[in-house]
Amino acid sequence: MKILVTGGAGFIGSAVIRNILSNTGDKVLNLDKLTYAGNLSSLVEVSSSANYQFAEVDICDRAALEDVFQAFQPDKIMHLAAESHVDRSIDSPGEFVQTNLIGTYNLLEVARAYWEGLSDVRKSDFIFHHISTDEVYGDLDGDDNLFLETTPYAPSSPYSASKAGSDHLVRAWYRTFGLPIVITNCSNNYGPYHFPEKLIPHIILNAIHGKSLPVYGDGSQIRDWLHVEDHARALYKVVTEGEVGETYNIGGHNEKKNIEVVNTVCELLEELAPEKPKGVNLYTDLIEFVKDRPGHDRRYAIDAGKIERELGWVPAETFESGIRKTVQWYFENPEWWHNVLDGSYRLQRMGGKLNE
């Protein structure tokens, strides 16, 4: 197959591409605008593959998208390109509306025109897979209920509202135009190559540099943590075996309070990095509770029973195994995060330009 992955230089997108190129014979075109969150060095282990191509394209640029579709002739679309950081969406909501809504609209229209021109055989195999988030469902009441695929949408932030809007667009293109789609909504991802603005890598890197470990509010917010490589496997299952028009929730079965996550990272650092920065007695001494973010949801938790029953996917990692591997990865790959912290990763361009 030929799979077009949008946002393939991002955290989840790069994991998807590494998984496909390492475990299948499929061809992949990575289409990415290379914003601050796009990092091609996350793909260095597969970028020399003959099955890999890269195109630096903004999904808001419709003409460029049309050129890419005609040149690559994809069989599947895996749409991950999105602005995704809640704090940034509060500061600059317009960027999220532009990329997540207008960009998705452009991609849908280009994909529809391309799909309508395919032969009947290729038409029947084509899938537009839209990758979304559990944050579109909003806040869960209580401690026992879970997000289902049928849970009503109630987004709280500009980020989750823009993703909810993009989900609705994708479903509308299926209902109105017949474009074959599948949608997945995932819980919080973690793992290697995670941009340092996100909670877990931020805590790891701040701690080993002796900086404060900021925790919103009292840290009691609950998230369901999913290892990114488990997520990548699930996404490939859905794009190859999922039923057209369906939605699949993907979760890690690992509900943790934010403060529990931070304490777990600190415990692992005590073991893996016992020589602490000057003046630090325990890593937990660096924890600092800060003013909560506006509209902060209290609890997310996914019921992933549908994807298990229908597609046979279950996560391979527990939180305990996955978080240990994650902390170890950051110790073993300092060059990657050093290049992010000093900004030099923005200068990198590597591998497989389209039509080269």
Residues 270, 271, 273, 276: is their CA dihedral positive or negative? positive
Q: What is the crossing angle of helices 319-332 and 334-341, to 10°?
A: 70
pLDDT tens per residue, range 47-94: 999 999 999 999 999 999 999 999 999 999 999 999 977 888 899 999
Say yes or no to pLDDT of 269 above 70.
yes
DSSP notation for 53-93: EEEE--TT-HHHHHHHHHHH--SEEEE------HHHHHH-H
Residues 274, 275, 277, 281: is their CA dihedral positive or negative? positive
Number of domains the chain is built from: 1
Note whether residue 63 is domain-resident: yes
pLDDT of residue 87: 82
pLDDT tens per residue, range 315-356: 999 999 999 999 999 999 999 999 999 999 887 654 444 543
| Amino acid at the residue 325 | K
Percent of the chain, pLDDT > 90?
88
Say yes or no to pLDDT of 155 above 90.
yes
pLDDT of residue 74: 98
Note whether residue 178 is domain-resident: yes
pLDDT of residue 192: 98
Note whether residue 131 is domain-resident: yes
* Residues tagged active-site: 134-135, 159
Task: Work out the average pLDDT over 160-168.
Answer: 97
Compute the distance between CA of residue 149 and CA of residue 59 in angstroms, rounded to an integer.
27
Work out the burial of residue 57: count CB atoms within 10 Å of its CB; fewer than 13 is exposed, 13-18 middle, 19 or more buried: buried
Task: Work out the average pLDDT over 220-242.
Answer: 97
pLDDT tens per residue, range 271-280: 999 999 999 9
Q: Residue 228: which region, alpha, beta or left (left: phi > 0; alpha: psi -120 to 50)?
A: alpha
Say yes or no to pLDDT of 156 above 70.
yes
- Contact by Cβ (8 Å): 316, 253: no
Note whether residue 179 is domain-resident: yes
Task: Work out the average pLDDT over 229-255.
Answer: 97
Q: Locate tokens 């600059």: which residue?
A: 92
Say yes or no to pLDDT of 171 above 60.
yes
**Mean pLDDT computed over every residue of the chain:** 94
User: What is the span of the domain harbouring residue 258?
Assistant: 2-347
Nearest to 315 by CA among 296, 302, 334: 302
pLDDT of residue 348: 63
Cβ-Cβ contacts under 8 Å for 317 (sequence gap 6 or more): 227, 229, 230, 252, 325
Alpha helices by DSSP H, listed for the chain, are: 11-23, 62-72, 86-91, 93-96, 104-116, 120-125, 158-177, 199-208, 228-241, 258-272, 305-311, 319-332, 334-341
Task: Work out the average pLDDT over 127-140.
Answer: 95
pLDDT of residue 62: 97
Q: Locate tokens 């909504």: which residue?
A: 185
Note whether residue 112 is domain-resident: yes
**C-beta atoms surrounding 278 within 10 Å:** 5
Note whether residue 88 is domain-resident: yes
Work out the burial of residue 253: count CB atoms within 10 Å of its CB; fewer than 13 is exposed, 13-18 middle, 19 or more buried: middle
DSSP H helix total and E strand total for the chain = 13, 12
Nearest to 207 by CA among 280, 292, 291, 257: 280
Note whether residue 318 is domain-resident: yes
CATH number of domain containing 234: 3.40.50.720
Note whether residue 206 is domain-resident: yes
Q: Locate tokens 């949008």: which residue?
A: 6
Distance of CA 280 to the CA centre of its chain: 33
Compute the distance between CA of residue 66 and CA of residue 320 in angstroms, rounded to an integer.
44
**C-beta atoms surrounding 106 within 10 Å:** 19
- Contact by Cβ (8 Å): 65, 57: yes
